[in-house]
């Protein structure tokens, strides 16, 4: 609304710095800052609320809102002690790591190998293969669950962590190959030619040209895959049922949320512990995360 009234004024004002009069520019700028500030605050407040709730006492949390902690601060680490020692969140974080770290490494390595074959080698069926991969990019995971559950039961993989590795790596490989493919096809062809003139084998070329040059895109893929694997609830819920290993952190938190017997405090502490690693990764590797999102968006 403000912008349209502004435009009528702008037409009559002298075209100084984008054709905006100083006074109009002033009020417009405050509106921009206002909206941006509201967005920033409302996107951050829920995370702050979680942190504050996780260090409040049981009594406080049950009788007043989290924001009262700023007026009458009384903080405790008891919820974290409860979550780690009684609820077994430490074991859950371990299981999540034992799933997400190998899945991240394997997805990155296999996607690099697949993308290298797809971009640098000519073979019949290459186009068809690319099209199938594109079609699989947006397949809902639900379509794969029922038959795999039966296969995993039949071969005894059900309830094991490697079963999750295989599923999560296989499910993301089409995306991974596409992300890396776009990057590898940007490597100058002369590099490959001079390598083959020097008599380098294909494996040698892969190891000393493709691998080192692809480190940025591998970092992008790795952080995206780690986040997806760490945050996935459906896969472990389906394939890890009845397992002897501690449930991964998403399953643990979902379980705590559905039964409130351990109290809100432990749930909040467990939830905060579950988001620490992904938050630190996204902040520390933001540049690679952004590149991954953009690279995947163009292709997908």
Residues between 45 and 74 that touch another protein (CB under 8 A): 45-47, 49-50, 53, 61-67
Which span sits near another protein by CB under 8 A: 72-80, 136-144, 189-197, 212-220? 136-144
- The least CB distance from residue 77 to another protein, in Å, is 19
Contacts of 224 (CB under 8 A, 6+ apart): 289, 292, 293, 296
Which span sits near another protein by CB under 8 A: 76-84, 135-143, 189-197, 213-221? 135-143
First to last CA, the chain: 35
DSSP 216: H
Query: Which of positions 173-192 make contact with another protein (CB under 8 A)?
Result: 173-174, 177
- The least CB distance from residue 252 to another protein, in Å, is 9
Query: Which of positions 211-230 make contact with another protein (CB under 8 A)?
Result: 227, 230
**For another protein, the closer CB: 45 or 74:** 45
> Both tokens of residue 40?
């920033």
Cα gap 223→295, rounded to integer Å: 13
- The least CB distance from residue 267 to another protein, in Å, is 6
Query: Which of positions 8-47 make contact with another protein (CB under 8 A)?
Result: 8, 10-11, 15, 18-19, 28, 32-33, 35-36, 39-40, 43-47
Based on the shown chain and the rule CB under 8 A, indicate whether residue 269 belongs to the binding site for another protein: no
Based on the shown chain and the rule CB under 8 A, indicate whether residue 133 belongs to the binding site for another protein: yes
Residues in the interface with another protein (CB under 8 A) total 129
Which span sits near another protein by CB under 8 A: 70-78, 81-89, 133-141, 186-194? 133-141
- The least CB distance from residue 158 to another protein, in Å, is 13
Assess contact for 247 and 274: CB atoms under 8 A.
Answer: no
- The least CB distance from residue 1 to another protein, in Å, is 9
Task: Please report where in the chains the tokens 């609830």 appear, as a residue.
Answer: 233
- The least CB distance from residue 116 to another protein, in Å, is 7
> Both tokens of residue 190?
């002369």
56 beta partners: 75
Query: Which of positions 91-130 make contact with another protein (CB under 8 A)?
Result: 94-95, 97-98, 101-106, 109-111, 113-114, 116-118, 121-123, 126-127, 129-130
Per CB under 8 A, the list member of 30, 73, 75, 141 interacting with another protein is 141
Cα gap 270→247, rounded to integer Å: 13
The sign of the torsion formed by the CA atoms of 217, 248, 254, 173 equals positive
- The least CB distance from residue 295 to another protein, in Å, is 11
Cα gap 211→109, rounded to integer Å: 9
Q: Which long-range contacts (CB under 8 A, 24 or more apart) does 58-65 make?
A: 58/263, 58/264, 58/265, 61/264, 61/265, 61/268, 62/264
- The least CB distance from residue 188 to another protein, in Å, is 19
Based on the shown chain and the rule CB under 8 A, indicate whether residue 284 belongs to the binding site for another protein: no
Which string of b and e fits 143-171 if b means at least 16 CB within 10 Å?
eeeeebeeebeeeebbbbbebbbbbbbeb
């Amino acid at each position: 609304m403000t912008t349209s009234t502004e435009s009528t004024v702008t037409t009559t004002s002298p075209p100084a710095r984008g054709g905006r009069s100083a006074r109009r520019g002033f009020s417009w700028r405050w509106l921009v800052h206002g909206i941006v500030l509201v967005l920033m605050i409302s996107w951050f407040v829920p995370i702050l609320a979680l942190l504050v709730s996780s260090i409040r006492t049981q009594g406080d949390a049950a009788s007043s809102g989290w924001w009262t902690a700023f007026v009458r601060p009384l903080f405790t680490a008891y919820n974290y002690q409860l979550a780690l020692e009684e609820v077994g969140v430490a074991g859950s974080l371990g299981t999540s790591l034992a799933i997400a770290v190998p899945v991240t490494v394997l997805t990155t390595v296999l996607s690099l190998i697949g993308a290298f074959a797809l971009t640098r080698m000519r073979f019949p069926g290459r186009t068809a293969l690319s099209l199938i991969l594109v079609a699989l990019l947006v397949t809902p995971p639900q379509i794969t669950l029922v038959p795999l559950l039966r296969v995993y039961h039949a071969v005894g993989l059900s309830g094991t962590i490697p079963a999750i590795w295989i599923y999560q790596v296989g499910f993301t490989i089409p995306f991974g190959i596409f992300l890396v493919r776009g990057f590898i096809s940007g490597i100058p062809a002369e590099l490959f030619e001079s390598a083959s003139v020097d008599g380098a084998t294909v494996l040698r070329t892969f190891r000393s040209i493709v691998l080192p040059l692809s480190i940025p895109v591998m970092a992008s893929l790795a952080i995206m895959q780690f986040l997806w694997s760490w945050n996935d609830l459906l896969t472990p819920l389906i394939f890890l049922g009845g397992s002897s290993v501690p449930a991964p952190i998403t399953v643990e938190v979902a379980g705590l949320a559905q039964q409130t017997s351990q109290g809100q405090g432990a749930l909040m502490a467990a939830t905060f512990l579950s988001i620490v690693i992904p938050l630190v990764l996204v902040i520390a590797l933001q540049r690679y995360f952004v590149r991954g999102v953009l690279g995947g968006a163009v292709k997908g």
